[in-house]
Chains A and B, each alone.
Chain A
Amino acid sequence: MSTFRQPSVLPGFSLTFGFTTLFLSTIVLIPLAALVLMTASMHWSEFVRIVLSPRALGSYRLSFGASMLAAFINLVFGFIIAWTLVRYEFPGRKLIDALIDMPFALPTAVSGIALTTVFAENGWIGSYLHPLGIKVAYTWIGVTVALTLIGLPFAVRSVQPALLEVQRDLEDAAETLGAGWLYVFRRIILPTVLPALLTGFTLAFARAVGEYGSVIFIAGNLPMKTEITPLLIVIHLEEFDYKGAAALGFVMLVISFVVLLTINLLQAWGRRRIVAVSR
C-alpha cells in the first residue's frame, strides 16, 4: 500500500481509502456483481437465445447507434454553444447559460412528452417537417432527438471550462505568426479542448445509453424498429423474466464498459501528450 501513498491535505490515507472502497462497493460494485451473478446462473444456450434474439439485436442497434449519434451531435453543437457563452458578451447570456442545465432538472418523462407533442405530425415543429417527408416522432429520429436533449448539458458543461482556459493571447500569437482562422482552430484551439470534448462526448453517450423515461414516449416502441434496450429489459421484467432482463443488462454493461474504457484510454493518451511531465 505504501507504494501509492502520497502526502495530502486530507488526513488518514487508510481511512479515506477504506471509505472510498466501501462507498464504491455499496453503490456500484455490489449491485453490478448481483447482475453478473444473476446472469451467471443462466444456462449458456438460454443466455445466447435471449441476448442474440433478433428483437434484442435490433434494440442494441437503436440504443447504441442513436446514443452515438446523439453524443456526436452534442459534441458539435455543445462546442458551439459553449464557445458562444464563453467568448461573447450579449444580453441574456446568463439566462441561456442557466437554460443549458434544464434537461438535468426536468423529469425525463416530462421532456419526453413535450418532445412528442412538438414533433408529432400535428405538433409545432412536426407539422412543418411532415410535408417534407420527415417523420420525427415514433421513429429512430425521435429517439435521437430525445437522447440529444438529455445529453446536451454534459457536452456544454465539460467544454466550457476548457474553453475558458484557451487564452486569447494564444490565438493572437498564432495570428501574428501568420495563421489563418481555420489553422488556429485546428492547431491551437482543438488540441487544447480535445480532452474536454471527449469527456463531454463520453458523458453524453453514457447518459443516452441508460436513458429510458424520455425515449419511450417519443419512440413508439415498435419491436425491431423503435424499441430501445432498456425498454426491452423492462418488458422482460414485466413478464417476470428476471434472468432475461439480467442477461440483456449484462450485455449493455459490457458494451458500455468497452466504449467508455476506449474513450478514457484515448483521453489518457492525449493528456500525456499535452501536459506531459509538469515541473
Chain B
Amino acid sequence: MSITLDQVTKRYQGVPVVNDVSLDIGDGEFFVLLGPSGSGKSTLLRAIAGLAGVDHGRISLHGRDVTHVAARERGVGLVFQNYALFRHMTVADNIEFALRVRRMRAADRRRRRQELLRLVALEGMDERLPAQLSGGQQQRVAVARALAHKPEVLLLDEPFGALDAKIREELRRTIRQVQRELGITTVLVTHDQEEAFALADRIGVMNLGRLLELGRPHELYTRPATRFVATFLGAANLILARQSKNGIRFGQTPVEASASLPSPFHADREHEVVAVVRPEEIEIAPTRERLTSNYLTRGAVDELLFTGALERIRIRIDESADGAALSSDGSGSALLEATRTQHEQRAFRIRPGEQVVIGVRRVHILPTPLSSFTACASTEGLAQALLREPLLSELALRMKTRISARVEPRLGMPGAGAEGRSNFAGTTVIASHADAVFHVQWLLERGAEEILILPQHASAPQRVLIHWADQSLRRATLAVSASILRHLSAEAVYVDILPEQTPMAQRPHGMRALLDARSEAQALHGLEIRTELRFGEASSELARHLAESAGQMLILGIQETAGLAARFGSLLSSAAWPMLIVHRQHESALAEVTS
C-alpha cells in the first residue's frame, strides 16, 4: 500500500473536521477524494502532506509511519488550487527549487528540468516568469515543480478550480497522462463529480469529515449505499418505496424493475425503503400502454430545460393518482427529475403542463434502514410542535427525506388492543415524556421498529453512544447507527456493559464483543467507532455516561418489549438527551406472529 490512513481524526476547536478516516491507497493508483466544501477532504490531503497535524490516528506512506514526520521529509509533491508558484522566480527556478534544496549539481538540475518541462508540454518556457504565463500553463509548472524531487506520492488540491472549462479538460488529460507515465500514486481532491469520474481509479466520497463510501466510479454511481453519495454523484430521485420478499412497490404499484436487493431487513416483513432512480432511468410516455418499462406513476411536466445533448425535465407527480410515488426530497414537493436524449425527444415531444405517464427502467434500493420520519403524538398540536423540533427538521433535511405528522389519541394507553402489527413505517418520533417508556412499548406492539425520543429543543449531538441489550441486535443497531451518523458530525462510541460481578475469567468475552462491534462497523458500513467497556447495570451505567457531558445521544438496540419498563424505564423516561430505539424481534418470535 502506498498510502495508509488509520483512524485519522483532526479537530478544530473540538469539532471533528476529519472524523475517523481509514483508507488504503494502492501503488500507482489515481484516487479522488470527492466531497462538498467543508467536508474535510482538503484537510485530509494536508494531513497526508504533513502540513496539518492529526489529533488521532496514523498515516503511513509506503509502509513508513510518517504521522510525526515533517512535510519536507515525507517525499510528497503537492499542487495547489492557486498554483502557489514563486512569483519572483523563473519557471526554471521554480521547477529546480526542490533540487536546489537538495544541493543537486547544476547540470543534473538542468537535465531534470528539461525532462519535466517536456512531460508537461512546456518546453522552452524556462526563462519566463509565472506572471507571463496563462493559468493553465502556471498549473503545469506547478505540477512539474511538485514532481521534480521524484516524490512517491502526488497530491493535488482542487488543481483545476481556477481554470475555465476548456483549459480544465486539457490539463485534466495532461495530469492523467503524466500520472500513467510515471505510475505515481496520486490523490486528487475535488468537489466536481465529473472530474472525479474522468480521472479516478477509485473515488472516496467525504461528507461532514467522514469517508462515506469508496469504490470505482461506475460502482458508486450505479450502486450507492447512502443518500448522500446517491445525490452527490450526479442527480438522483430519492423515492420512498415498500419492499418485501415479493418485490418493491411504490404506493400501490408493484415494480418488477431490476433492483438490486442488498437487504438488511427481515425478509418476512414489508419495509419502507429508499429507492434511487436516476433521471436517465425515467421513461416518459403519453399513455400507460406506450411505456416500455415499469409503470411508476403519472404527473404533469413542470419545467423543460434544453442543455444541449440532454433535455432536463421536472415532473410534478400527481399524488392522488393510483400508485402515487411518494417523493422524499425533503422540501415536501413531489417533483421528479428526468433527462432525455435527443433520440427520445424526437419520439415523443412534450410541452410544460402536459400530462404524462412515468416509467422506471432501473431502481436501486439503498441499504439504509432509516427511510422517513413520522412525528407521533396524542394531539394534533403536540404532533405539530414535534415537527418543528430543530434536530428533527435538520436530520430530515440532511437525509433529504420527509417528515409527516400522525395523531394517535390513545398513544401509550394500555390495553387498547394492538390491532394488527400495522403501519408504523420508517422512524417514529415521539417527544420526551415521563411515560416515554409506555409510548415506546405501545408503538413497538404496533410494529414500529425505530423510535426516536426527542427532548425539547435538542441540538445536534457531538457524541453518539451505541449500546445493544443483546448481541443478536448488533447488526441492526449498527446499521441504524451508521445510517444516522452519516448525517451528523458526531463521534460514535460503542459501550458494552458487563455486570459488576463478572468474574475476571469472563472479561475477555467483553473485549471480544468490542472488537466484533468495531470490525463489523468498519467492514459493513465504513463507520469508525470507538469502544468502551463498563461494568454495572446497563440502564444506570448508560444514564451516568450520558450525563457526563452535554451534546450526547443514545442509540439503543432492544429485543423484548415485555420487560422494557423494568429494564430501561428510568433511562427512557429521561428528557435530557435524544434516544433512538432500535427494535428487532427474535427471528422465531417474528415467524410466530406472521404465521
Contacts and interface: CB of A to CB of B under 8 A. Distances in A.
Interface string B141-162: 0100110110000000000000
B101 interface: yes
A13 interface: no
A177 B87 CA distance: 16
Nearest to A270: B88
B197 interface: no
A170 B86 contact: yes
Interface in B43-78: 46, 49-51, 70-74, 76-78
A31 interface: no
Interface residues of A, number: 24
Contacts of A10: none
A33 B146 CA distance: 58
Interface in B258-297: none
A173 interface: yes
A241 interface: no
B80 A276 contact: no
B132 A279 contact: yes
Nearest to A278: B131
Contacts of B232: none
A277 B146 contact: no
Interface centre among B70, B82, B86, B149 (most CB of A within 10 A): B86
A178 B101 contact: yes
Given A176-B49, A177-B72, A177-B145, A279 B131 contact: yes
Contacts of B98: 177-178
A183 B149 CA distance: 17
Given A275-B131, A279-B131, A169 B88 contact: no
A170 B89 CA distance: 12
A187 B93 CA distance: 11
Contacts, number: 78
Given A169-B82, A191-B88, A273-B88, A178 B149 contact: yes
A177 B149 contact: yes
B84 interface: yes
Which among A176, A177, A192, A278 has the greatest number of chain B C-beta atoms within 10 A? A176
A43 to B, nearest CB: 52
A46 interface: no
Nearest to A273: B88
Contacts of A180: 72, 101
Most buried by A among B49, B51, B88, B131: B88
Contacts of B74: 176
Contact of A172 (B71, B77, B101, B132): B71
Interface in A156-185: 167, 169-170, 172-180, 183
Given A169-B82, A276-B132, A279-B132, A175 B88 contact: no
Interface string A13-56: 00000000000000000000000000000000000000000000
A175 B86 contact: no
A176 B73 CA distance: 8
A176 B146 contact: yes
Task: Give the 8 A-B CB pairs with smallest separation, nearest first.
Answer: A177-B98, A169-B84, A173-B84, A274-B88, A176-B78, A178-B101, A178-B72, A175-B71
Interface of B: 46, 49-51, 70-74, 76-78, 80, 82, 84, 86-88, 97-98, 101-102, 129, 131-132, 142, 145-146, 148-149
Given A176-B76, A191-B88, 13 more contacts: A167-B84, A173-B145, A175-B71, A175-B72, A176-B78, A177-B72, A177-B97, A177-B149, A179-B97, A179-B101, A275-B87, A276-B129, A276-B132
